[in-house]
Chains A and B, each alone.
Chain A
């Protein structure tokens, strides 16, 4: 049996509370507040205390999916990525770069947001990128 705690940060509101994920044999089993965080100083709210629950939910997506005959079916990464890239290319060629829009995410990391806006601007060729800051 291998147990460790991993320092992380709460994915809910903008406070950015420090927390420790409890990991038992590679599985996240609990959450503890970080005592040294300058933000939360050893406290968490009810949502922060339970972040391990949604991570390990059986409802998580585990497989790419592609729509066929009006329903989503499991597919391989190769098929799903190929389809996505091809359709976006076709639409860009036919209707121009500004016919594509991108919503990036306030839940994803800085690095991921950076890459998605780079993809939008440099590859798709449009500034149609936004996220839920207004919501």
Chain B
């Protein structure tokens, strides 16, 4: 979100899901859409049936390429070069939307200067994509009346994640594909309420609705509303908290419904940090590997056992209804939090989630018009500043949040850890269609666990034959952080020397291998590229999860 915020002044999916099917060109980049967001993929299929050009840029031959007009198989971590290359071609051919650039953006000259150096030949060499395909992609995207961009973690989970996002935003501004139907730049959110957790101030630098903690007027507003003295010092991100524990600055953690022992990059390091804590409180619905390490574990209610709202990837706030009682003594998290807070000495006494939303609406301009009564139908899309407002289908109509869209010069930088002699393969990670994140929910769903119940490493058949490894054989995969074992699946989904592993499986935790080096601004680790070596294992020797 930091990338979009820098260019436009706010970060969220600019357009709505239903608009995708009326686009004339869809650029999918770093998103395994049909696997991770199947119901958005459906809109892409419909657009294609109506004649849209679909471009998929992904280092792997992911299933959605079957529905594409063009697959750009870029080398891992070369997205900035690819996008600069597309902008170079667009400017050379004069396909830019000069009126949009003149009226709604600033700093165009700076972009132009840097993009000048990214000739198709140079970009082809960096990305591995042919000059012909680069030209075709630029033409499809720039010549479309309404072109839209869909992306996910394949773009953000890099040391250059913010650069990647800004580059995509530049491409959309250059061609005037913003502020109107079926265009835009659309991060597809990977978790049901990750948009809401951000909107609600579950971030170290902002209160609700992205109101900055360093802004004195904002601080005063919240101090008055909450009757408390607040800090104007920006807090630590999740990726900074674990190192802070290990260097002794952080002593206690409260973790609500998260499982960093499986989900975080270099997770052996996370485990070490959790062990070093003076106190760890975990609130969850299952006894996750993270909960196993806690001093106190509190049982929460699942989404179906409580009231409340979720905000989906298109900023739509939707109302949950209670279908059943939580099991045993489990309770809704909002009740747990207010009981904890009251005992801590800061009393909270909300009668219901409805009462909490009334307070949110009062303090949050973009949620100002959201009330439970108004959410009974299809929900409401923020910004929704007052109770007469119908909600907002797409953002940036007429003007950007920050006024003019800001171009900047972005140079390509390779991934932090490239393959070398000792670690000759590049590993990338992702999801499979039947599992979700750390598997806490899907691996407790028998019908899903039956489909895929163990980890696999996708490897090119030619690489496999060099290592004398066959389908289903066990291999040990090691990076500079640690090693894990997994069976091999032979496939040419990715190119030579690029391997893929899903990150759902505790038994073969891909995140033991991944590189925690993060983007300097967004602090997102480079999950999507790290260097590994692979050795064939004796079937009998499958020790898992050992440090190097």
Contacts and interface: CB of A to CB of B under 8 A. Distances in A.
Nearest to B447: A50
Interface in B190-233: 190-205, 207-208, 213, 222, 226-231, 233
Interface in B256-282: 256-258, 260, 263-264, 278-279, 281
**A17, A57, A107 pick with most chain B CB within 10 angstroms:** A107
Contacts of A129: 201-204, 235
B49 interface: no
A26 B39 contact: no
A134 B525 contact: yes
Given A67-B294, A122-B226, A110 B337 contact: no
B360 A114 contact: yes
A14 B304 contact: no
Given A39-B312, A54-B445, A65-B297, A133 B194 contact: yes
A75 B323 CA distance: 27
B519 to A, nearest CB: 9
B318 A108 contact: no
B536 to A, nearest CB: 31
Contacts of B325: 26
B484 to A, nearest CB: 18
B110 interface: no
Contact of A109 (B208, B298, B320): B320
B256 A127 contact: no
B151 to A, nearest CB: 13
B251 interface: yes
Interface string A21-32: 101001110000
Contacts of B260: 103, 132
A115 B264 CA distance: 25
Contact of A13 (B228, B291, B436): B436
B433 A60 contact: no
Given A6-B321, A14-B313, A109-B308, A103 B238 contact: yes
B525 A100 contact: no
Contacts of A84: 281, 296, 298, 340, 343
Contact of A101 (B189, B226, B250, B316): B250
Contacts of A6: 304, 321-323
Interface residues of A, number: 97
Interface in A8-58: 8-18, 21, 23, 26-28, 36-40, 43-47, 50-55, 57
Where chain A touches its partner, the secondary structure class is mixed
B236 interface: yes
Interface stretch (B123-131, B136-144, B345-353, B413-421): B345-353
B377 to A, nearest CB: 9
Interface in B413-443: 433-434, 436, 441-442
Interface stretch (B81-89, B167-175, B327-335, B400-408): B327-335
B181 to A, nearest CB: 15
Given A103-B258, A122-B230, A14 B253 contact: no
B378 interface: yes
Contacts of B42: 43
A13 to B, nearest CB: 5
Interface residues of B, number: 141
B310 interface: yes
A106 B197 contact: yes
A8 B292 contact: no
B200 A117 contact: yes
Contact of A66 (B263, B295, B302): B295
B104 interface: no
A111 interface: yes
Given A9-B310, A101-B244, A108-B257, A62 B299 contact: yes
A9 B445 CA distance: 17
B252 A37 contact: no
B192 A40 contact: no
Contacts of A107: 191-193, 257-258, 303
Nearest to B203: A130
Among B200, B298, B306, the most chain A Cβ lie within 10 Å of the Cβ of: B200
A116 B38 CA distance: 31
A130 B197 CA distance: 9
A131 B227 CA distance: 25
A8 B304 CA distance: 7
Across the A-B interface, give the 7 residue pairs with the lowest CB-CB distance, nearest first: A62-B328, A16-B312, A109-B308, A14-B189, A127-B235, A105-B257, A14-B313
Given A104-B256, A116-B256, A132-B194, 10 more contacts: A14-B37, A45-B433, A47-B448, A57-B444, A60-B330, A67-B296, A99-B252, A115-B338, A126-B235, A127-B235
25 contacts: A6-B322, A8-B320, A10-B192, A13-B37, A16-B313, A18-B318, A45-B433, A46-B451, A53-B447, A61-B291, A84-B296, A87-B279, A101-B252, A104-B256, A105-B202, A108-B333, A114-B356, A115-B356, A116-B256, A119-B346, A127-B204, A129-B202, A130-B235, A131-B202, A133-B197
Interface of A: 6-18, 21, 23, 26-28, 36-40, 43-47, 50-55, 57, 59-67, 72, 77, 80-85, 87-89, 91, 94-95, 97-135
